[in-house]
Amino acid sequence: MKSSVSERSGGASYLRDGVRNWLQDLRRTPFARRPLPPGPPRRDRLNGHLSEIRELGYVRAMRLWTDTYGSLVMTYLGPPVLGRRLLVITDPAIAEQVLTQEERRKFLLPQGAPMVFGDKAVFCTDGDAPIHAERACLYARHLTPPLLRRHSALMREIWDEAIERIATIAVGASSARRFGINAEVLRVAQRVAIRCWLGVDVCEREAHEALERYYDPGSLLSQSFFDSLYFVGAAQRVEKLRTTYRPILERALDRIVALGDRWEDEAPELGFLRRSLVHFGWDLARLGAADGGDRRALLDDLEIYRHIFSAMLPAVGSTGGTMLFLLHYLGCDPGLQDELAAELAGADLLDRPRPTPLLGRCIKETLRLHPEAIGVSRYLDQARELGGFHVPAGTFLFVHLHGLHRDPSSYPDPERFDPARFVDPTAAHGGRWAGFSLGRMSCTGRSFAELHISHFCRSLLARRRARVAAGEPLLDNDYQGSVTLQPRPFEVEFEWSRMSRETGV
């Protein structure tokens, strides 16, 4: 029997950590006397540069700084004691050096009351913390080639059916116009994620509720920066995580118990949960016991929900966001859709569960322009020389992917969507492209995400063509309300593809 993880109320520890870090900084590095990279003057010492971020959004504020001050910018978030010193990096060589060599990793905020960030974070973890390596191992074991083939079959089934609903075209009509299909696409992405990682199917309402949870960490992040009472909201959001996933977890447990040793042949997608339960110290036999004691304890245990959510968040947010941005670009380019449809029609994604060459380039180009992660952070616990500057210990290094990917010396005419840039694979080398990050801390779920996007495109283009009104701008949410970049709702028109019209399929 395992005791549940209790939540700490941590306003005090937040303050304590802030003061401790500040004192350590002062002791270790007399940084005031050494050169620092240039940065924008602080308008408000109490908030650091948060007010600019509040006004402009994360991406745009940081772009403004890097455009003005260069590819290394020192900035400050929050007041001196609690705040964070942040080195914003858009120089490819330094980005590569930092991402591939830097061992440690932390999110921007210290571990606080709701334990949604930091060492025990729902998603981002400290690279030195054991949970990081353990999680990576659990993910990797669920993404082996045979399991990817299994995921591929599930994705195909779900998307084939879902696309029919999303792009519904009444008999006789040649096209259907849809505005803001974002939530629908994300809901299907959510359904696929739950099916592949927890082995159960969910209804519309459950998929919808789980999708609501995806928005919580984003709102929490904004609250923690801008709202001094964020602890209250945090506790409620964490509790909702448990309530939402509880019935889903219950059904998954029922399946695990009912299938017994047959799970590996009949439902290998249950493997992630089975292995995770063993990893967290639960006795599978006792979870099926008639008295139900262990089962109740598990269903109350917040740690397991956090763990599950660490797969759900990127499998829905980052993956679904990429699908939506890509859909917009496809909708602007009928020729590209035909080319991609032909390539995907000839591919066997069940046997070779990975993106086809042109699609691989489209995914790279979409993530170049719209990196789902605003940037990748690393925590410096020792002072370093970077780009000729002395960067003190205690600084967060922040590789700003948006700026990095739109550097005209890496990618001429950087605002234009052009998958052909990556025909030469070296175009992504030298730290110029880091859509899934680089090095040992890079994304563990890349193969899953790319396969998922492949199925979305295959199912869509097998029968439909998307059209986005000419000149409709592609706007994004700039990280307001979500932790991944999402496009603002846009209008798409779905038509029968020529092939479908001719063959009547």
Binding residues for ligand HEM, per CB under 6 A? 99, 105, 123-125, 132, 135, 139, 310-311, 314-315, 318-319, 322, 367, 372-373, 376, 435-437, 441-445, 448-449
Distance CA 352, CA 335 (A): 25
Sequence-ordered list of residues with C-beta below 8 angstroms from that of 411, at least 6 positions apart, any chain: 368, 405, 421, 427, 432
Among 204, 200, 240, 205, residue whose Cα is nearest residue 220: 240
Residue 125 or 222 with smaller CB distance to ligand HEM? 125
- Element (H or E) spanning 23, and its range? helix 11-28
Residue 332 or 449 with smaller CB distance to ligand HEM? 449
Distance CA 359, CA 436 (A): 16
Residue 67 or 103 with smaller CB distance to ligand HEM? 103
Residue 400 or 465 with smaller CB distance to ligand HEM? 400
Residue 4 or 442 with smaller CB distance to ligand HEM? 442
Among 442, 318, 317, residue whose Cα is nearest residue 376: 442
Minimum CB separation of residue 47 from ligand HEM in Å reads 26
Hey, what are 186's tokens? 């994300």
Rg (C-alpha) for the chain, rounded Å, is 23
Among 116, 44, 105, 108, residue whose Cα is nearest residue 80: 44
Distance CA 349, CA 156 (A): 9
Residue 287 or 397 with smaller CB distance to ligand HEM? 397
Count, residues in the chain? 505
Hey, what are 75's tokens? 């900035």
Q: Is 92 exposed, middle or buried (0-12, 13-18, 19+ CB in 10 A)?
A: buried
Minimum CB separation of residue 123 from ligand HEM in Å reads 6
Minimum CB separation of residue 276 from ligand HEM in Å reads 13
Minimum CB separation of residue 193 from ligand HEM in Å reads 7
Residue 186 or 367 with smaller CB distance to ligand HEM? 367
Minimum CB separation of residue 191 from ligand HEM in Å reads 14
Across 248-266, b (16+ Cβ under 10 Å) vs e yields bbebbbebbeebeeebeee
Minimum CB separation of residue 213 from ligand HEM in Å reads 15
Across 205-238, b (16+ Cβ under 10 Å) vs e yields ebbebbbebbbbbbbbbbbbbeeeebbebbeebb
Minimum CB separation of residue 11 from ligand HEM in Å reads 25
Minimum CB separation of residue 45 from ligand HEM in Å reads 30
Q: How many CA atoms does the CB half-sphere of 99 hold within 13 Å?
A: 28
Beta strand segments in 57-198, E? 72-77, 84-89, 175-179
Minimum CB separation of residue 372 from ligand HEM in Å reads 4
Minimum CB separation of residue 41 from ligand HEM in Å reads 30
Sequence-ordered list of residues with C-beta below 8 angstroms from that of 135, at least 6 positions apart, any chain: 125, 307, 310, 444
- Report the residue number whose CB is nearest to ligand HEM: 445
Minimum CB separation of residue 476 from ligand HEM in Å reads 14
Cβ atoms 96, 271 nearer than 8 A: no
Hey, what are 62's tokens? 């940081």
In DSSP terms, 384 is beta-bridged to 391
Minimum CB separation of residue 286 from ligand HEM in Å reads 28
Residue 375 or 394 with smaller CB distance to ligand HEM? 375
Residue 151 or 295 with smaller CB distance to ligand HEM? 151
Among 134, 131, 14, residue whose Cα is nearest residue 84: 14
DSSP of 237-266: HHHHHHHHHHHHHHHHHHHHHHHGGGHHHH
Minimum CB separation of residue 105 from ligand HEM in Å reads 6
Residue 315 or 428 with smaller CB distance to ligand HEM? 315
Residue 294 or 419 with smaller CB distance to ligand HEM? 419
Residue 99 or 109 with smaller CB distance to ligand HEM? 99
Residue 248 or 287 with smaller CB distance to ligand HEM? 248
